[in-house]
Amino acid sequence: MKALITLTTCESKRLIAKGVKGLPCVQNALDKHAIIVAGGTTNAFVAEELLNISIEDKTSYTMGIVTQGELGVSRSTKKTAPYVIVEGKAIETPWKDYLPKLKSDDVFIKGGNAIDHTSLAAVMVSDSAGGTIGAAQGILYARGVKLIVPIGLEKMVPDVRQAVEFMTKSSVDESLGHKVGLVPMLGATPVTELTALETLYDVEARCIAAGGVDGSEGAVVIAIEGLDEEVQRALRDIQTLKGEPPVRVQ
């Protein structure tokens, strides 16, 4: 059976968050190890799924944000600190303090701003020291900590490597909004809508189109195929995601 589904950007974020939770390495870390859920609007959805909580103002869970056609920063007055989860429970330790304790079976979850057809993802950083990923990447690589990147297909770009090389040739002189750099996340496991669908259901998933208007800007159209019962199960679950409210800047 083959079916088509269309997801708005926030419906995608919810699906991706559920897909992240369904990954075997994340399930293992939830049960026995540690997870750091770095800041980001998509990661706010991930934190909700992992901890069964509600984050009303998801812009409170990020610093950098693209809004009103510019690169900016969150203006939320009530910041939500990135969650550190140990054996399924959130602890009070700040993520930067827990970072040196990470081991190979732990998981670090970081959102991205670009992904290409090779599944290479990258993230924009305005901090001259490299931001969150700059602080974490060395430890993650050196210790074999799994880096999971929840990222929607709306962020698909032609070639991340070329983009990074272009950005590093010289500094940015002017910008509509904040100036940023672009950091690739080599070795990461991106989780897109397709990854989520194929993790949660025994189906094949392909993105066949994207875009829309009147609240469906950035929407993706996905074809899924599998046994009738699996496709129907996926469709039933997707129906529960429909109407996920957009992330509003508060």
pLDDT digits 0-9 by tens, 81-127: 999 999 999 999 999 999 999 999 999 999 999 999 999 999 999 88
Tell how strand 64-67 and strand 83-86 pair up. Answer: unpaired
Q: Determine the pLDDT at residue 25.
A: 98
CB neighbour class for 71 (10 Å; exposed up to 12, middle 13-18, buried from 19): middle
Q: Are strands 146-150 and 107-109 parallel, antiparallel or unpaired?
A: parallel
Mean pLDDT to the nearest integer, 35-47 = 97
Per-residue pLDDT, 151: 99
pLDDT at position 65, please?
86
**Rg, C-alpha atoms of the chain:** 18
Share of the chain above pLDDT 90, in %: 87
SS3 47: helix
The identity of residue 117, as a single letter, is H
Distance, CA of 56 to CA of 48 (rounded, Å): 10
Q: Please give the residue that has the higher pLDDT: either 59 or 193.
A: 193
- pLDDT score of 190 more than 90: yes
* Structure confidence by residue, pLDDT tens digits, 10-19: 999 999 999 9
Question: What pLDDT does residue 220 have?
Answer: 99
CA 177, CA 68: separation in Å to the nearest integer? 10
- pLDDT above 90 for 63: no
**Would you say residue 77 has pLDDT above 90?**
no
Q: What is the pLDDT of residues 141-176, one digit of tens each?
A: 999 999 999 999 999 999 999 999 999 999 999 998
